[in-house]
Amino acid sequence: MIVLKEGNLRIPKWNRKVFAVAGGLVNYKKFCPEMKLEEQVMVAFRQMLEQNNLKMSPVEVKGLINLITAGCFADHFQDQLLCEAKVTDYLGLDPMFDIGIKTGGATGGSTILTAAMGIASGYADVALAVGWERMSEVDTRMGNYYISTAACKDFETRLGRIYSSYYAPMAVRFSQMYNLSEQTRAKVAVKNHLYGYYSPYAQQPGKYTVEEVLASPMSTYPLRFLECCAMTDGAACMLLCDEKTAYKLSDKPVELNIAGGSHTLRVADRRDMDIPLLPNEDPGLYDGMRKKEGTRWPGFESFAASRFAAYFAYRMAGIKDPLEELDLIETHDAFTISDIQTYGDIGMRPYGREAEYIESGDAYFGGKCPANLSGGLIGTMHAVGATGIFQGVECLWQIQGKYDQFHGDTKIWKSFGKEKPKDWKSLQVPNAKQAAWVSHAGVGSHVTVGVLKKAF
Amino acid sequence: MEAVKKEPVLFEGYVIMPYKYSVGSLASKFFIKIRDSKVLSGAKCPKCHMVNFPPRSVCPKCFSKVEELVELSGKGKLETFTIVHYESSVQAVKPPYAIGVIKLEGADTAITHFIGGVDYKDIKPGMKLEPVFKAKRNANILDIEYFQPA
């Protein structure tokens, strides 16, 4: 059993406040041959500088940046290490210091966390968090092969060579322990493909039914293809600042707290530990569950790294009851099952009751705390190094009241060569004040939870 | 831009990367035991008695040096599983194939491996399993061909 001490559980504390003011995305697609990687990053960078109503010109804002955190997971896809140096140069930011960040699927979240550390410590007043991935540079099966090496090579990688084969056993276990139906899983896929339908950025928009999801081909039992995320070419950017600069640059700054957790790469090696409680969970809540024979926490049902990230981030942000106080969340729905598992980790429901978050309607637009209005990874994108930044940007725009500006503008749809659907509808959460997002890697090896709070 | 959209220039290359890595001091003993004796073993911490499987040469809990490998029966209980249908040229076996997470008797954690010798529709969490070893073994985890019902 893993035993944690006081120091391990110390709540992170910024030395000064950190703010997010602007974000930039691209037209996410499976294959983007018309642009090279740096050009695609430039599209996101320019949207961030030009379309976010900043009170200084793009060139002036660029002149404030003195730290770049650059997220990319698989730069070996392009036969190119130290790709961040090429991107920094291309964005016109030489010779500002860039740090390459690599934490698998959580790379985007870790990239923002590192930029936030730069602001909070005083190293920088303005930092750029930028991430990208070009999954098309190897074919899909080769991509799966390389990405599946983010498992234990001694004992696990050689068996699977397909990432869903690490998550599918969790789905079997979770369904057995917590009585989860495949219909509930399918509802997550239906919801996120649908929300992708309203987004010009989305790679996999779709109006599916639960029956259609369940009738789609089996990838790894019990997960079907429509329950799995996209593989994407894409980039994303977020601009972070200290308090003074944030108000100088924007009328709508948003305060950021973000923390992370890590856990073993080997699924089978998850040792039992006490469940760290979220602020709204009473001691004793899980006593009954813990006494059941054969249970270990996090077992294969949950993600210790997500729980720890939420444990820290909620306390940093002063959140007492996440479901009540958050107006929306973005979760890492690489697979329907991992999405549902996360609901317990971040306190949308106590462990064992995750499915209720979907079945109650809370997770839908108009519900108590809607999830993945962006379309998430299933509907919109998973350009690995950019994903956690894309999620954060979607939360930022919601709090700034800019969902329509960035999703409903016909010009944006047209610039991507797409037609805005005639039945397009706004997914702007009215008066959104606080949002959280989960950036997740491996089989839960690295997770960040970020909390954005309205500061205007 | 229209011309580029019609005919983007793509450079096609490939990376050749043969590699080797050390599996570690105690794990070398572990794999040799599988290869030479068809025996699975765990690393027992002399101080806190935790049995690490796969073995580690330093106990992650108390930092004691671990030199002793204790033999395990190899028998275990299936905790969860999947059946892989997705096919690609880089897999060790051709789909469909079953992968299980198996908690071994006497170990504190589990092992992931193939399940075989059973109709896939009969695979149930909780079933007892035992390893089947390959005839030709090379001191790696694929020396176990699969786990079958015990």
Kindly provide the ipTM of the predicted complex, given to two decimals. Answer: 0.88
Q: Which of B49, B50, B52, B23 is nearest to B35 (CA)?
A: B23
C-alpha torsion sign, points B104, B29, A264, B141 = negative
Of B96, B84, B116, give the one whose Cα is nearest residue A221: B84
Tell me, rounded to whole angstroms, the distance of Cα A18 from its chain centroid. Answer: 19
Using CA coordinates, name the residue in chain B closest to A79: B15
Taking contacts as CB-CB distances below 8 angstroms, the residues of chain B near A171 are 82
Q: What is the pLDDT of residue B7?
A: 82
Cβ contacts (< 8 Å) between B84 and chain A: which residues? 160, 162, 165, 168, 220-221
CA gap B58, A41 in Å, rounded: 44
First to last CA, chain B: 65
**φ, ψ (nearest 5 deg) of residue A201:** -85, -10
Of B15, B101, B114, the CB nearest to A169: B101
Rounded CA-CA distance B56/B62 in Å is 12
| Contacts with A39 from chain B: Cβ below 8 Å | none
pTM, entire model: 0.95
Query: Is A158's Cβ below 8 Å from some Cβ in B?
Result: yes
Nearest CA in chain A to B100: A169
Per-residue pLDDT of chain A (456 residues; tens, 9 = 90+): 778 889 999 999 999 999 999 999 999 999 999 999 999 999 999 999 999 999 999 999 999 999 999 999 987 777 888 999 999 999 999 999 999 999 999 999 999 999 999 999 999 999 999 999 998 888 877 777 887 888 888 888 878 777 788 899 999 999 999 999 999 999 999 999 999 999 999 999 999 999 999 999 999 999 999 999 988 999 999 999 999 999 999 999 999 999 999 998 888 888 888 999 999 999 999 998 888 777 789 988 999 999 999 999 999 999 999 999 999 999 999 999 999 999 999 999 999 999 999 999 999 999 999 999 999 999 999 999 999 999 999 999 999 999 999 999 999 999 999 999 999 999 999 999 999 999 999 889 999 999 999 999
pLDDT score, position B1: 59
The residues with which A70 forms a beta bridge, in sequence order, are A100, A130
Number of other CB atoms surrounding residue A402 within 10 Å: 18
A117, A220 contact by CB (below 8 A): no
Query: pLDDT under 50 in chain B at which residues?
Result: none
In this structure, what is the dihedral angle of CA atoms B55, B61, B67, B71, given to the nearest 10 degrees? -50
Q: Report the alpha-carbon distance of residue A13 to residue B35 in Å, rounded.
A: 51
Cβ pairs A/B, distance under 8 A: 110
The Cα diameter of chain A in Å comes to 62
Task: Say which of B23, B27, B141 has its CB closest to residue A158.
Answer: B141
Q: How far is A186 from chain B (nearest CA, A)?
A: 18
Cβ-Cβ contacts under 8 Å, B88 against chain A = 141, 144-145, 161-162
DSSP string, A260-289: EEE--S-GGG---BPPPPPTTPPTTTTHHH
What ranges do the domains of chain B cover? 21-149
Q: Which residue has the tokens 């108590």?
A: A368
Q: In Å, how far is A432's CA from the nearest CA of chain B?
A: 40
Beta bridge partners of A127: A67, A240
What is the rounded distance in angstroms from the CA atom of residue B73 to the CA atom of residue B76?
8
Hey, what are A250's tokens?
């924007």
Q: How many residues does chain B have?
A: 150
Quickly count helices (H) and strands (E) in chain B.
2, 8
Enumerate the residues of chain A whose CB falls inside 8 A of the CB of residue B27.
154
A193, A197, A198, A199: CA torsion to nearest 10: 80
Q: Which residues on chain B place their C-beta less than 8 Å from a C-beta of chain A?
A: 1, 4-5, 8, 10, 13, 15, 21, 23, 27, 54, 61, 79-86, 88-92, 99-102, 108-114, 125, 140-142
Taking contacts as CB-CB distances below 8 angstroms, the residues of chain B near A144 are 86, 88
Whether residue A155 and residue B90 make contact (CB cut-off 8 A), yes or no, is no
SS3 label, residue A118: helix
Strand B51-52's sheet: what is its strand order? Answer: B51-52, B40-44, B69-72
Chain A interface, mutation test: which of B82, B93, B138, most A Cβ atoms within 10 Å? B82
Nearest by CB: B86 against A220, A266, A270? A220
Nearest to A172 among B21, B61, B82 (CB): B82
A130 Cα to chain B: minimum distance (Å): 25
Q: How far apart are alpha carbons A256 and A435 in whole angstroms?
A: 10
Q: Which residues of A touch B82 (CB under 8 A)?
A: 165, 168-169, 171-172, 220-223
Place of tokens 């060569």: A417
Which residues, listed in sequence order, are joined to residue A256 by a DSSP beta bridge? Answer: A452
Q: Could you tell me the two tokens for A40? A: 């695609």
**Direct distance between the N- and C-terminal alpha carbons of chain A, in angstroms, rounded to an integer:** 46
Residues of B in contact with A217 (CB under 8 A): 85
With the CA atoms of A155, A158, A163 and A169 taken in that order, what torsion angle do they form, in degrees rounded to the nearest 10? -60
Do A21 and A231 contact (CB within 8 A), yes or no?
Answer: no
The answer to whether A156 faces chain B, any CB pair under 8 Å, is yes
Neighbours of A407 (CB within 10 A): 25
Length of chain A: 456
Closest to A294 (Cα-Cα) out of A173, A181, A165, A444: A173
